[in-house]
Amino acid sequence: MNEKLIGILAGMGPRSTAPFVDLIIDECQSQYGAKYDDEFPKMMIYSLPTPFYIDRPINHDLMKETIIDGLQKLESTGVNFIAMPCNSAHIYFKELKESINIPILNIVEETVKKLPTISQKVTLFSTSSTFESTIYQNGIIHNGHEFIFKDEWQIKLNNLIQNIKMDKENPHNIDIWNKLIEDVKNESIENIVIACTDLNVVLEKSYPSINIVDSSKCLAESVVNKYLKLVK
């Protein structure tokens, strides 16, 4: 079952790589009952440092060039398709897709389609760059949901993401997270789209009583779906 090769362009940010690979392993076990080591797929994982910053403007041209270079390097290894567990990278999805000759899974599309089929209130936890691009808001509204967000939440999210990048074990991180969840509940919001892979560090330590649609998990599920279609 291992003749196909999955490409993972990761490292954006660095702490998000290992949790994403773990999610793929979990999906292999749940989707087709993988048990022994040789029942799991081959993966080529490229951890790519990028010029991304929470606390200053991003040079989008440089960011795009860096990601394209990473995609092309990964393509050259013979992978059959690529997943990028980084929501901000999908701001440039059209150009990235055109830069290589193999498929790239779209984390935004895979995430939005996991929202409830009936119209509900939805908010978004992401970096400022992902939020400002409106790639998620457009998809959420297009699928018939009401999008709700408060500007002060982004300030808290930016602080949380920066803290995680510097010290993922900082106990203050979970305090910020819990306050954000409380704020969201107070607005009668029913769904949170988690569109920053760094947030998995706190997500895996909490069990909020609200529907969480985690972009990392949605992408991991899609990776294994795609892999299984290729090996049939």
By annotation, the residues acting in catalysis are 86, 196
Task: Name the β-bridge partners of 147.
Answer: 122
Q: What are phi and psi of 177, to 5 degrees?
A: -60, -50
Question: What single-letter DSSP state applies at residue 113?
Answer: T
Could you tell me where the DSSP H helices lie in 87-199? 93-98, 107-112, 128-133, 135-142, 151-166, 172-186
- Look at the chain and count its residues: 232
Q: How many C-beta neighbours within 10 Å does residue 126 have?
A: 24
